[in-house]
Structure 1
């Protein structure tokens, strides 16, 4: 009952990657099939990075993480999906869920089919769509003109990049574009700004779909400053990066943590931290804050931002 406002939406889309997107999706999973997650596929670290180097596949790790967050009922299948091999063999460090998704991908026509097979196995109603079904990597352009290749290296840069792009340039998944185009509510974040939120926006067709959407768009900020180049950006600069890549201002509200509720035309503060783990968004508080923002009836004048992000 308390989230009646959110229940009024027929098509809700959350965009991002990592643990941030998984937590948002699990908070909203009461929406069932009305909820869609668009997942970044550019990670190149850990088990995912090893598989990408050997198999030239998309990054499965963030998709696996979202599936695990949405598998609310513990089962043998969900436990196996999160099993990580130990020891000093070639399998050491690999996540079984990543290997299962890779195997299913090789048996299926499309990566999306592999994801849907696991969704059915784990009885997950929420739709999960990879941002692209073709392998690509995140690339950052430095002020000196040199390029930094791969998410791991981008996150380790000493200075903030002046631009981001994908290499090779690939197509956005058709279903991802359609979900955004027809959405009633779109949520960006939380998560690593450069490596989780930005990659889907760098797909031209996906950015075009975002620019065409009539949905309300809410940006959920991280609880703490990132230990990456993105930590040097103010929230206004990050919003400007998003708008520059998309081609127009689309973000109506920004949701940030604050000990006291403070509302503004764009940036809004609510208590969001989990009491037991302050590094995590409290799911109940997050839903309350989203519902409160959506109840605000005053129209927002989208603020024009100085262009900061460029295409490589």
Structure 2
């Protein structure tokens, strides 16, 4: 069984999820992206301060990764203003999505419109349509609020939560329950991978799905307290925080990574051009190898993800 035969859901944020979606874009509507929306930095953070909204930056990045990067649409949505005036540092795609969000009653309507404009066949959903922030708690009880603050913590937080608690879209739940393969990562452990898992509807769907659930590890250590954790320590932290372990296997670039809890597929993943990027061809090869290794665990369901 190969990737092209499967319904796949990829969950995460930042450049990591965009890379996975770009790699698997040949799946069209057999692929669904569920994007973290808690970012509070850069252009996105400035827009969120101006008027409460979900974080648009990672959604914009994922949508543009699903089209040819030389296309006019991709260049338009990825254009960033220079200078130190009010527009300086803003990404045009973020501004467009933010503006559409002020016009439409639901973020999903804005995303659907941009998908049509860019010709994106793959459904891309926010983890929630309701704005929320990430809160991290130190072992002694103090807390930090916001993605930027969380990644700057000197020690691993005891736990994370969303404030306020939010629900996901029915389309996200349907996609996960109808999936053959669910991918988590790569990306920042605390601020890209964990936030969607804190949405109870999503973690419950991941617990119930018959899909094989695979975690893609980073190629290089991230700049956060999670960098010091072993794979099994990350798994234990997830289980303690969300009440289940929604991962069956992991794909790791580092051959030294081992686990007593899940199957680990070691595979060379580094891009020949940018060493810390996942090579598209190598990632497809690694996923196919992981699927073959776990073929007895995957039960294909011939239902396309809800668009």
Normalising by structure 2, report the TM-score. Answer: 0.92
Q: Is the 8 A contact 1:20 1:189 kept in 2?
A: yes
Using a 3 Å threshold, how does the CA distance of structure 1 residues 90 and 34 change in structure 2: closer, same or farther? same
Q: Of 123, 136, 140, which aligns to 1:127?
A: 123
Q: Is the 8 A contact 1:41 1:58 kept in 2?
A: yes
Using a 3 Å threshold, how does the CA distance of structure 1 residues 263 and 251 change in structure 2: closer, same or farther? closer
Q: After superposition, what is the alpha-carbon deviation per residue over 1:132-188, rounded to whole angstroms, capped at 9, x for unaligned? A: 101100000001210111000000011110000011111122221221122111000
Q: CA deviation at 1:68?
A: 1.4
Aligned mates of 2:295, 2:3 — CA distance in 1: 18
Give unmatched runs, 5+ long, in structure 1: 301-312
Q: Of 57, 76, 81, which aligns to 2:77?
A: 81
Aligned mates of 1:209, 1:86 — CA distance in 2: 42
Q: Which residue of 2 aligns with 1:100?
A: 96
Q: Which residue of 2 aligns with 1:144?
A: 140
If asked which structure has higher relative contact order (CA below 8 Å, sep 6+), I would say: 2
Aligned mates of 2:286, 2:257 — CA distance in 1: 9
Aligned mates of 2:259, 2:141 — CA distance in 1: 40
Q: Is the 8 A contact 1:14 1:188 kept in 2?
A: yes
Q: Which residue of 2 aligns with 1:310?
A: none
2:48 counterpart of 1:34: no
Q: Of 260, 269, 274, which aligns to 1:272?
A: 269
Give unmatched runs, 5+ long, in structure 2: 298-307
Aligned mates of 2:229, 2:257 — CA distance in 1: 23
Q: Which residue of 2 aligns with 1:223?
A: 219
Q: Which residue of 1 aligns with 2:68?
A: 72
Q: CA deviation at 1:260?
A: 10
Q: Which residue of 2 aligns with 1:281?
A: 278
Normalising by structure 1, report the TM-score. Answer: 0.90
Aligned mates of 2:132, 2:186 — CA distance in 1: 22
Moved more, 254-263 or 107-116: 254-263
Number of positions where the alignment pairs a residue of Structure 1 with one of Structure 2? 296
Q: Of 189, 192, 206, which aligns to 2:202?
A: 206
Q: Is the 8 A contact 1:258 1:272 kept in 2?
A: no
Q: After superposition, what is the alpha-carbon deviation per residue over 1:226-266, rounded to whole angstroms, capped at 9, x for unaligned? A: 11111121111112233334433331110000479999961
Moved more, 148-157 or 170-179: 170-179
Q: Which residue of 2 aligns with 1:188?
A: 184
Q: Is the 8 A contact 2:136 2:161 kept in 1?
A: yes
What's the C-alpha RMSD, in Å, of the aligned pairs?
2.0
Aligned mates of 2:268, 2:255 — CA distance in 1: 5
